[in-house]
Amino acid sequence: MAARRQYEELAQQLSAIGAVKRGLGRMLPHECPAGSAAVLTLLDRHGEMRMSRLAELMAIDMSVTSRHVAHVAERGWIDRSPDPADKRSRILRLTPAGRDMLADLSERSMNALAHYLADWSDDEVDQLNTLLGRLRASFGDCRPVPAAPAVPAAAPPERTTRTPV
């Protein structure tokens, strides 16, 4: 098990990731801020959905989600059509213009990463991708779950053992 100082260092490094995200955010076009980019990315990844599902995936309030959706809809990047199952709800889906914007965002991201990681080897980039993927998997989707199991499945013994106080 990692020593306390290693976890403290990891917490500091993860906190500093905000600076990396802000740096990548600066490459977004003015007309597509981070919230809009997130809407487009999630619709691309998960397909069409209701706004309530989008709010859940973004882990933000429905009113904030609504503002992001209005922004991308005004630019023609998504379509909001009535849900056949519930006429009060809308189904959100990407438009061809939204897919074009996503392609532009992807190109900008790759160019920024290539610039900032120019002195990294291919193996180092692969290692980072592997470790970040593993970290994300360890945290799951980070949304609250209704009821956690009493004992974590397949938890390593050293992580479940507690020292008496």
pLDDT tens readout for residues 92-132: 999 999 999 999 999 999 999 999 999 999 999 999 999 99
CB count within 10 Å of CB 70 equals: 13
At the top level of CATH, the class of 20-134 is mainly alpha
Q: Where are the domains of the chain?
A: 20-134
pLDDT tens readout for residues 1-16: 678 999 999 999 999 9
The predicted structure's pLDDT at residue 89: 87
Q: And the tokens for 31? A: 């007309």
pLDDT band at 139 (very low <50, low <70, confident <90, very high): confident
**Is 90 within 8 Å of 51 (Cβ atoms)?**
yes
pTM of the model: 0.75
Helix H, strand E, coil C: the string for 56-93 is HHHCCCHHHHHHHHHHHHHCCCEEEEEECCEEEEEEEE
pLDDT tens readout for residues 46-73: 999 999 999 999 999 999 999 999 999 9
- Identify the CA nearest to 79 among candidates 104, 58, 108, 49: 49
- Identify the CA nearest to 34 among candidates 67, 74, 79: 67
